[in-house]
Amino acid sequence: MDIKVPRGTQDILPTETGKWQIVEDLIRETCRMYQYKEIRTPIFEHTELFTRSVGDTTDIVQKEMYTFQDRGDRSLTLRPEGTASVVRSYVEHKMFGYPDQPVKLYYMGPMFRYERQQAGRYRQFVQFGIEAIGSADPAIDAEVISLAMSVYQKAGLKQIKLVINSLGDTESRVSHKEALVNHFAPHIDEFCSDCQNRLQKNPLRILDCKVDREHSLMKTAPSLTDYLNEESAAYFAKVKEYLSVLNIPFEVDPNLVRGLDYYNHTAFEIMSVAEGFGAITTLAGGGRYNGLVEVLGGPSSPGIGFAMSIERLLLAVEAEKNTWADNSSLDVYVIGMGEAAKKKVVELVYELRQNNITADQDFLDRKIKTQMKSADRLKAKFVLVIGDDELEKQSAMLKDLSTGNQQLVPFSTLTEQVKNSISTWVEAEK
């Protein structure tokens, strides 16, 4: 049998999970600082949730969803993103009635898109995202962006760039849409069939077409910026002002339209500019989605958020040649010689662990020398050795692997002594 992981998915092996945990911890800690609370929604949803919110002319809905009929003949879809689910949940649980608004939520979990696999693009990937629903204050746009930037900073990234744009409100978009139709219509037969469909339904989507990216009409297409009405332009100006207050540098890119339909006003992406980062440079994307709560049956509640994949964050760290702290440390490796000692080893390892000391032992009856090598490989701070002599004295030999110093410690005070030795060891490392 030769069964491998499905294309576009990956096993995250024990040699890699340490980094993931560091990133997950720093994300949770950042969300705690910013007062975003975790929400966990199902991995699959009714297909209609995504067609209605992400938009039925988007690549995600048209080409990338894992959709299936369940045994009750319902159409379900593995979630391709998190915003739709969070907003569904916000409406379903009437979070608009919570006394504290906006409701600030975060999520972290697998998302699924049937995309062509390449570096940084997977069919199953882990997104961390946040959503702040219930405020149309431009200060929260800046807060959302600053949270994303802060996560990257804490992960040690320096070579990143923030790009922002405004997609305007409904009025601005209607006049922009008209201009787009006039621009593309005379030459639409030179575009792919998807773009031809998009022309009347949703011409903005033409701008992020992957097939016709190089067509000369793309560069000269009317820019949204020129169609922003006064209110939208004022909102965008405020967002930029708040970003400056936070000292967050940004570039304005009038061509940034994002690939999902629910956006309006602020749209942003964070890119890696590190040399050696693959062809896909977007690390995170997000924006404002006033109106989405209403589309999903709730009262008018403006929202904004972003999402990033952990995979791309880790790739960016690698491209910048940063290293991670080792979080797999072992305090004590316990070695026994002989049957009687083995029983004591089993007992001691358990006792140490009960006292919050990380401990491990051999399970292959290997020679003491081989066990010492294991202790070294596992980067143990100490080893405890118990042989016949030690057993007779009801003691164990405690050896500091960094200095080679050793002392005989009675079983009765062993846990205390090991704790003290670890504290001294940690102090010395500082």
| Chain residues in the site for ligand HAM (CB under 6 A) | 81-83, 113, 115, 120-122, 125, 127, 129, 131, 259-260, 282-287, 305-309, 311-312
Q: Indicate the DSSP class of residue 61.
A: I
Answer whether 311's CB lies under 8 Å from 122's CB.
yes
Give the residue with the Cβ less far from ligand HAM, 215 or 312.
Answer: 312
- Give least dist CB 259 to ligand HAM, A: 6
Both tokens assigned to 391: 């057993």
Give the residue with the Cβ less far from ligand HAM, 19 or 381.
Answer: 19
Distance CA 158, CA 189 (A): 44
Both tokens assigned to 285: 């994307």
Answer whether 120's CB lies under 8 Å from 299's CB.
no
Give the residue with the Cβ less far from ligand HAM, 55 or 287.
Answer: 287
- Give least dist CB 116 to ligand HAM, A: 9
- Give least dist CB 324 to ligand HAM, A: 19
Distance CA 280, CA 121 (A): 8
- Give least dist CB 98 to ligand HAM, A: 19
Both tokens assigned to 309: 């994949």
What values do phi and psi take at 383, rounded to 5? -120, 150
Give the residue with the Cβ less far from ligand HAM, 64 or 390.
Answer: 64
Sheet with 406-410, strands from edge to edge, namely 359-361, 330-336, 380-386, 395-400, 406-410
Rounded to an integer, what is the distance from CA 400 to the centroid of its chain?
Answer: 39
Give the residue with the Cβ less far from ligand HAM, 82 or 336.
Answer: 82
Answer whether 260's CB lies under 8 Å from 58's CB.
yes
Collapse the DSSP code of 148 into the 3-class scheme (helix H, G, I; strand E, B; otherwise coil) and give the result: helix
- Give least dist CB 307 to ligand HAM, A: 4
- Give least dist CB 300 to ligand HAM, A: 17
Give the residue with the Cβ less far from ligand HAM, 121 or 154.
Answer: 121
Answer whether 191's CB lies under 8 Å from 215's CB.
yes
User: Cis (ω within 30 of 0) for the bond into 102?
Assistant: yes
- Give least dist CB 399 to ligand HAM, A: 46
Helix ranges (H only) for 185-291 are 193-201, 216-219, 230-245
- Give least dist CB 369 to ligand HAM, A: 46
- Give least dist CB 84 to ligand HAM, A: 8
Q: What is the CA radius of gyration of the chain?
A: 28
Distance CA 313, CA 20 (A): 10
Give the residue with the Cβ less far from ligand HAM, 134 or 285.
Answer: 285
Give the residue with the Cβ less far from ligand HAM, 276 or 410.
Answer: 276
- Give least dist CB 89 to ligand HAM, A: 14
What values do phi and psi take at 118, rounded to 5? -155, 175
Give the residue with the Cβ less far from ligand HAM, 296 or 332.
Answer: 296
Give the residue closest to ligand HAM by C-beta.
Answer: 305
Our CA dihedral for 125, 23, 148, 167, rounded to 10 degrees, sits at 0
Give the residue with the Cβ less far from ligand HAM, 316 or 396.
Answer: 316
Provide the residue type at 329 as one letter.
S
- Give least dist CB 296 to ligand HAM, A: 14
Distance CA 423, CA 400 (A): 12
Give the residue with the Cβ less far from ligand HAM, 310 or 380.
Answer: 310
Kindly tell me the sign of the dihedral angle through the C-alpha atoms of 102, 103, 109, 110: negative
